[in-house]
Amino acid sequence: MADAPPASGSQFRRVLLKISGEALMGDQGYGLHPPTVERIANEVKKVHDLGVEICMVIGGGNIFRGLQGSAQGMERTTADYMGMLATVMNALAMQAALEALGVFTRTISAIPMDQVCEPYIRRRAVRHLEKKRVCIFAAGTGNPYFTTDTAATLRANEMKCEAIFKGTQVDGVYDSDPKTNPDAKFFSRISYDEVLTRNLRVMDASAIALARENSLPIIVFSLNAPGGLAGVVQGEGKFTTVSTLASDQKGAA
């Protein structure tokens, strides 16, 4: 199946979508906002309908972040495990929303919890993808001191995804924050090295380095444009591709 042609309408056969936990909280400032979860599930369904095989990694920052816990005096590893458990809650919420839309989905956890979801077994996950089930990888890497960005890059490599789609609040990578700087320069493409040296915070540095080592493109796009994900998967709309190619210095915005 690894050699199957790309799905029709898409240049990609298998992709990983990474979203932060905060993308699921709507305007609430905390937790899960069911209409927002449903909206993102609809975006995923549109890509699934194109025949693309989909992996997902969802963060946990809408519920708990290890660094916050340790800043408040909690032991770091315990706090990180709480963060990982938060990602499982988000994954289950997304699974429920996708299955309500008729998209078969598996939540697969790096920390075994058999009554709740499947444990991570690479070959089994590949089989799910081949059967067009969406695989949501939960509990990050299963290890403290990591983030779900790194988990996303790890799983994307293991699943032989052709790209990571990183959904954010902005429509790509800029040289400064476009929300505060109207002159911020947009990059339609940029290299891993430039992202790291300019400290552009696309994903954390270990995730970028892991993607660079495996030449795995990262496509940064806005989660807020309706139909945006399906468009971007088909090469339409505004987005930034992070790869080995140097940036477009003119920065066409």
CB closer to ligand UDP out of 68 and 181: 68
CB of 203 to ligand UDP, least distance (A): 9
CA–CA dist 9, 230 (Å, integer): 10
CB closer to ligand UDP out of 10 and 90: 90
CB closer to ligand UDP out of 78 and 176: 78
CB of 85 to ligand UDP, least distance (A): 8
Residues that bind ligand UDP (CB under 6 A): 20-22, 59-61, 65-67, 80, 83-84, 86-87, 140-141, 143-144, 146-149, 151
Q: What DSSP assignment string belongs to the chain? A: -TTPPPPTT-S-SEEEEEE-GGGGSTTSSSS--HHHHHHHHHHHHHHHHTT-EEEEEE--TTT--HHHHHHTT--HHHHHHHHHHHHHHHHHHHHHHHHHTT--EEEEESS--TTTSEE--HHHHHHHHHTT-EEEEESTTSSTT--HHHHHHHHHHHTT-SEEEEEESSSSEESS-TTT-TTPPEESEEEHHHHHHTT--SS-HHHHHHHHHTT--EEEEESSSTTHHHHHHTT-SS-EEEESSPP-TT---
CB closer to ligand UDP out of 13 and 166: 166
CB of 164 to ligand UDP, least distance (A): 13
CB of 154 to ligand UDP, least distance (A): 8
CB closer to ligand UDP out of 66 and 231: 66
**Beta pairing, strands 118-119 & 105-109:** parallel
**Beta pairing, strands 14-19 & 53-58:** parallel
CB closer to ligand UDP out of 70 and 191: 70
Residue nearest ligand UDP by beta-carbon distance: 59
CB of 21 to ligand UDP, least distance (A): 3
Closest residue by Cα to residue 43 from 63, 23, 29, 21: 23
Positive or negative: CA dihedral 61, 221, 104, 136: negative
CB of 131 to ligand UDP, least distance (A): 26
CB of 82 to ligand UDP, least distance (A): 7
CB closer to ligand UDP out of 7 and 16: 16
